[in-house]
Amino acid sequence: MSLARRFDLVIFDWAGTMVDFGCRAPVNALLEAFGRRGVSLSEQEVRRDMGKAKADHVRALLDDARIASAWSAAHGAAPSARDCDAVIAELGPLMREQAAQAATLIDGARATVEALRAAGLKVASSTGYTREMMQPVLERAAAQGYIPDHLVCSGETPQGRPSPLMIYKACAELGVWPLSRVVKVDDAETGVAEGRAAGCVTVGVAASGNGVGLSAAALAALPASERAARIAAAGKALYAAGADLVLDSVATLVPALERQTG
């Protein structure tokens, strides 16, 4: 069975899925934004809510008891709504800088998009970045041959992930239905939950994404057993979030979907 008989649209996340192997840019930007305010975060803390709109992500971090306590120690008071807004505002330029530096396509991403289009499918994208944050990423991705048919950014729907509204917006504007004919591909548990909430076929990517959190070079440098264990743990978390299928990266998406249509 051809892909087009089963699917009409594939919606890809960006960081950790199509660009930025290891989803490093948003982590680095958040670490710096909080560090400037005298609050040290761990990567684990930052990655816990990855995939949410960046404003929601900042709010979630400040709602964490450990981080709120550290903020109070640094500033003499618990974080306020004004503090949250200030961090969000400061995050924008940091995120643009980090995202632009990390906008290299993940190996196999362009070939996967070309194969999907050759099979007659549309290709859309969504992100927890605002459109302003995404501008340098879009430019660099286009220079590498990736221009999705549609993009939904943080703040362009009443709610962000894990709500399904970003997917609904893309489908409405591209004229695609039912949602069972849509594939959502994401490296973060929040993005997988979004796909499940929308009723899409949902694919998690483990090795390139937030769960492992290492650059391609750093991951390749690990002993084989440790590398396999980290990828397996990330895959387990994506399945637990509701993924129908988990792959190492988008490079193997097309054959995996072809097996689903058999």
Catalytic machinery residues: 13, 54
The strand ranges marked E within the chain are 9-12, 122-126, 150-152, 182-186, 201-205, 245-247
Tokens 């959502």 — which residue?
184
Supply 184's token pair.
């959502």
DSSP H or E segment with residue 126: strand 122-126
The whole-angstrom separation of Cα 156 and Cα 165 is: 9
Half-sphere exposure (Cβ direction) of 171: Cα atoms closer than 13 Å:
22
Contact 135, 96 (CB under 8 A): yes
Extended beta strands in 1-92, E state = 9-12
Rounded (5°) CA angle 137-138-144: 90
Q: Are 126 and 170 a contacting pair, CB within 8 Å?
A: yes
Residue 103 phi/psi, 5-degree rounding, is -90, 25
Residue 114, amino acid: E
Alpha-carbon distance values, 139 to 16, 96, 136, 146, 240 (Å): 17, 12, 5, 9, 34
